[in-house]
Structure 1
Amino acid sequence: MVTNELTFYLAAAVLLILTVESCVKLLRRDSVGIAVAVYVTVFAWYFVDPFLNPEEYGCLPPFLLGQSYGQVLLFLVGFRVALPAATRWILSRRNTGVLAAMQRLTPEQILIAAGTIWILLFAIGIARMGGDVIGAVFPVDGRAGVTMWGRGAVESSATGFLIASAAYVFSAVTAFLGVLVFFQRTRFWRRVAGAMFAITLPYFFFQGARSAFLAAILPFIITYLLYGRHRLVIRFVILAVAFICLDQGFRFVTAFRNTGFRELLAAKNPYELVDESLPQVGLNMIEELCFVNAYLDSGDTSPAYGARYLNEL
């Protein structure tokens, strides 16, 4: 069990200290929210599942758990050291190169550029769906059907690489649109950014990957928490409501993503179709890290750090 490992407590203590530090800085507006987002992600991925599913960790050797939590600890320390250095480096070059050019752009100009990329990728995605706009926006068949950026699970061709790259760019642009909503200076442009952002969200929800949906919506939520016009208490209340909605929504995603959501959407009471005891799965990153360490320790392979990636295209 993870509670028998010293590195678990060390990593948990460091994570708690760093999270409190980042929250204090955030409330003082001394930093951006990226550090808090990283720490919350680390907590969710590496410290929750061992208590939700303790039976899954009984067969893991203690030394693997200790080694893995030691690596989590090293990441936290490394991130804390590297983030201020990276921030200072970026700020020292804010008046040169691309950063200087971006500072001269208005929020509306940035939105137009991001919107152009979004429209282009959206059009390509619809074309890949054979012109089915509704099917592209609402892929209600989940993983059992076709999606805008769907591809083989193991895709080694150049086409697969391009599709995967376009999917990641589409996700990044969508998340960026959600952030830009709060920086537009007129109601018209806020509505434009909000419309493009909202149109895309059903795709990320119904295509079945919770991580993709979180990648699209979390920047919007964090930006609202930092720059929303409501009082801080109201923002935290809305944040709590958003968390509950995400938790409930992801239960449906977990239950129906492999078979499709048509039955769910047609049901009068969707909760009757979902087992109340169905747990949230997919938070077992510490277990997967143990498996990776065991595989590397076996000597069957060695890390190439991406050196062979291009050769495998």
Structure 2
Amino acid sequence: MRRFFSTRIVMLVIFLSVLSLHTNASVSLGNRNTIHVNDDNISGPWSGTEQYPYRFIQDAIDNASANYIILVANGTYYEHLFIPSNLEDLTIGYWSNSPGELDNFGPKLIGNGTGTGISIYADSVKITQLEITDYGQEGRDSAVYIERDVEGVEISNNIISKSYHGIWIKRDVPLETFHIIEKNTIQNISQRGISIVLCDRNTIRENTIVDCEWGAYLHDCYKNTISNNYFSNNTEGLVIDIGIENSVEYNTFNDNEYGFGTIGTRSSTIQNNNFLENIRDAYFITFTVWNADVWSRNYWGRFVFPLIKPIGGNFVIAKIDLPWVKFDFFPALTEN
């Protein structure tokens, strides 16, 4: 019965996310140069104008310059997109109310189970209001891949689904990357919905992440903000594996096998989150008692008396695992 009602809640959240994606206005143009794409323009000519849009998104990318906007009409696009390093500040988004539109659904990128959907090698790229689905089977294959030296990418208001990884970002050495991942629906991902390695000062907020092996996984990442996300029906909701001064707040972990886990984190803040109906709400593995994480004002799905919530985990010293406990000293009495 619990699983039945939880699944209905998840489906409602996903439906509202999809509805908001395609009821938002088109990308704001300002004074920027704009290229148009519509898969209905089969016979050409193709010049990227509203009257003669390109048929393929990659053709628009190949004819764009830095700071351009590419607007994509409703339709189905079987493509693997590559954004080169010279296209800083490029935006790819939804072209609503395109003239003569034949499709009644938003722009949908489909990978037929191969490769990566969008490979980003330029700084400050924005990807918004697209559906990106069915990409990859191995390695770093993902719906969206961000190259290791890139900074300031925004991935927002997209539906990312049925892929090997959702969003994949990995560096070889630490860097402040300032990426923003917000208001996406990420669902039915074989491995990691969001995977970030050696990237600092990123923002992950207001995403719905469901039915993944790992909802979000961060490794050796410092000073990231993870807030107001909804994690549900994942094997692991959120895992932070090594990191300092990360902020995890106002997230909801609902009906996961493991809601939230930390491994070797320090000086991080875990506060005002909701833990609901997970098999195990939270766990930790720590290697030091100094500069410990602070757990505060989280809601644990039930009244906690005497207002102290123990959180079980392990303290590892000299390769020996010892049972350990941390405390949420001020657990919330109602949902945050």
Which structure's relative contact order is higher, taking Cα pairs within 8 Å and 6+ residues apart? 1
Common topology (TM > 0.5): no
TM-score, normalising length: structure 2: 0.26
More strand by share: 2
